[in-house]
Amino acid sequence: MTFAGKAISALIAPASFAIAAVTLIRTNNWAAWGIEALPAKTPATVSFGDLANITATADCLANQIDVEACDPYGRSFQPYVVLPARILNFFNLGLENTGALGIALAATFFLTITALSILIARSWTKSTPQLFAAQSLLALVAISPPSMLAIERGQIEQLTLALVVAALLAFSAKNTTTRYAGSLTSLVATGTKYLSVGMFLPLINRSLFTKANKAVILALALSAVFLLWSISDVLLATDTSGASTPQTTKSAFSVTTLLVTLYSPESVTYKPSAEVLTNWSTIKLASYAIFVALVITWIAILKIRRTSTKNLPTTSGAWILTLGAGGVLLFPYLLGNSHDYRLIFLIPLLTGSLLLSQENKTIGITLTIAAAIAAITSASMIATPNGWELPTPLTIVGDAALMVLLSGITALWATTALSKPTAQTP
């Protein structure tokens, strides 16, 4: 495989993302992706609605106004906006800078996708056609509706994504200084979004204690201290976000959205049907039971195929990236509803699973297919200008794929965490 071939392949996903993002930002035609855009509350054409909440809070801090009523859209107070708002206020940035900051976040997102594309190109050992196919699949997921929704909302999780990817790659490095840099990066990531602590999932294993992985232990300790210090804000954010109430897959994802959507009529967009509300407790119990059953099924299959799974590269960059990104999604998935823009973490997960397929074809390809299906069938909120809307059966398939994916991540961690780690080529 030539250097030129690898270099060209690494351009596919970043170029695709740049074209899609720039086009939608310039035209503000987010409905082309099935995304219901918020009205702009700033001079910018694009709303960057969630970012506007942060920049407006920065203005409130500057003017010594109560921050709990600063959201331009009148939404419930989210405590996680205060810390970034304080940083913006320190640099004299506020609501009028929302447009520029939104573009900066999108640029950060672009750089993350570029880095992941380069990682695939550099680490690929199979044929050139397979490399181009892998890069094309990454491109498809990179421009999927969750990615465009994250840009339209100006979601700070674009920054969280970059920090999590940097931290996971640092933790998989051999250089001690790089691993300690990952400790600090992971703390900043936790500071931007609390549930990004799920990134530590692949690192909580036998080697953490037997080999005294000091960089990871430090990272865990720092993030734990931050979360304990912020526990009241964490609980408030969970409560005000509606994480515990039933929602369909049109607006969110969680362990319960599959059955909520399945038992809601096609005309229902965001709020579930009366039947769902009446049987909510039963639906929650059934949803968790299905998830547990899938985890047990995965574990049984992994145990049966022990000869093909005993050499999984549990210390490689591919493994850490796959389970780390999966952990970021798994925690909120089990705890309650999350907005679909968080599914941008499927991008590093898919990157890791593609590389993992070189070590274990069956597991890698299974995770890759599930991640791709989940990404392209999510965040489709409204009909496009041409009147096309993602059929409800496809959204249900996407929810099922996400459940298969995250139950698989759980099973892979559970079956390897106490095993002697196996290091292989990333």
DSSP secondary structure string, 20-53? HHHHHHHH--GGGGT--PPPP-SSSSS--HHHHH
Give me 414's structure tokens: 């559970």
Neighbour count for residue 250 (Cβ, 10 Å): 23
Which residues have CB under 8 Å from 326's CB, separation 6+? 198, 201, 349, 405, 406, 409
pLDDT of residue 149: 96
Dihedral of CA 366/368/371/375: which sign? negative
Please give the residue range of the domain that contains residue 52.
3-10+43-416
pLDDT-based confidence at residue 420 (cuts at 50, 70, 90): low
Question: Is 48 within the bounds of a domain?
Answer: yes
pLDDT of residue 426: 45
Give me 50's structure tokens: 């969630």
What is the Cα–Cα distance from 189 to 272, expressed in whole angstroms?
33
- Does residue 80 or residue 167 have the better pLDDT? 167
The alpha-helical segments, DSSP class H, found in 91-205 are: 98-123, 128-142, 145-153, 157-171, 176-192
What is the Cα–Cα distance from 368 to 379, expressed in whole angstroms?
19
Question: Is 16 within the bounds of a domain?
Answer: no
What is the Cα–Cα distance from 91 to 85, expressed in whole angstroms?
10
Most confident by average pLDDT, 74-88, 206-220, 236-250, 281-295: 281-295
Question: Is 22 within the bounds of a domain?
Answer: no
Contact 219, 187 (CB under 8 A): yes
Q: Which residue has the tokens 């054409």?
A: 45
Report how far Cα 54 is from the mean position of its chain's Cα atoms: 20
The alpha-helical segments, DSSP class H, found in 172-230 are: 176-192, 206-210, 214-229
pLDDT of residue 310: 58
Render pLDDT for 163-205 as a digit per residue (tens, 0 to 9): 999 999 999 888 889 999 999 999 999 988 888 999 999 998 8
What is the Cα–Cα distance from 39 to 46, expressed in whole angstroms?
8
pLDDT-based confidence at residue 425 (cuts at 50, 70, 90): very low
Q: Which residue has the tokens 């992941």?
A: 116
DSSP letter at 226 equals H
Question: Is 370 within the bounds of a domain?
Answer: yes
Question: Is 421 within the bounds of a domain?
Answer: no
- Does residue 152 or residue 265 have the better pLDDT? 152
> How many structural domains comprise the chain?
1
pLDDT-based confidence at residue 375 (cuts at 50, 70, 90): very high
Contact 331, 195 (CB under 8 A): yes
Q: What percent of the chain has pLDDT over 70?
A: 93
Question: Is 35 within the bounds of a domain?
Answer: no
Contact 179, 170 (CB under 8 A): yes
Question: Is 236 within the bounds of a domain?
Answer: yes
DSSP 327-392: HHHHHHHHHS-EEGGGGGGHHHHHHHHHHHTTT-HHHHHHHHHHHHHHHHTSS--S--TTS----H
Q: Which residues pair with 252 in a beta bridge?
A: 339
Residue 421 has pLDDT above 60, yes or no: no
Over residues 343-352, mean pLDDT: 98
pLDDT of residue 206: 75
Question: Is 32 within the bounds of a domain?
Answer: no
